[in-house]
């Protein structure tokens, strides 16, 4: 099952990626998916990170579904 993952700002700059796909198993919790992504991108873990699923802040308890849009970004700095 494929999920879309987005990086923005610092996470895009550090990883050199803005958007990519990950393969996951059915029924996984999003927190497990995020953990797997961070293992692939260890340099991100030095930062305070926020996580979203389908444009909502993630609790981590969500079960992933085909086509979900995940995002990982540093604490926001707009305004």
Partner 1 sequence: MDFAELTTSPLDIGSIARRVVPPECGATVTLDGYVRRFTKGRETLYLEYEAYEAMALKEMEKLIEQAKAEFEIANVGIVHRTGKLEIGESSVVISVASPHRKAAFAACEWLIRELKRTVPIWKKEVYADGEHWVEGDAATATTMGNETNE
The 2-41 contact track toward partner 1, x by CB under 8 A, reads ----x-xxx--x-----------------x--x-------
Beta carbon nearer to partner 1, 8 or 28: 8
Q: Rule CB under 8 A: is residue 58 a binding residue for partner 1?
A: yes
* Cβ neighbours of residue 62 closer than 8 Å, sequence gap 6 or more: 29, 30, 53
The CA distance from 31 to 41, in Å, is 15
Which residue in the block uniquely carries the two structure tokens 């953990």?
35
Beta carbon nearer to partner 1, 8 or 41: 8
């Amino acid at each position: 099952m494929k999920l879309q993952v987005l990086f923005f700002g610092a996470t895009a700059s550090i990883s050199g990626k803005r958007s990519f796909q990950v393969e996951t198993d059915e029924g996984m919790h999003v927190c497990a998916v995020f953990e797997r992504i961070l293992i692939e991108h260890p340099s991100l873990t030095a930062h305070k990170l926020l996580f979203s699923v389908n444009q909502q802040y993630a609790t981590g308890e969500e079960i992933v579904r085909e086509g979900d849009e995940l995002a990982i970004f540093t604490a926001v700095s707009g305004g």
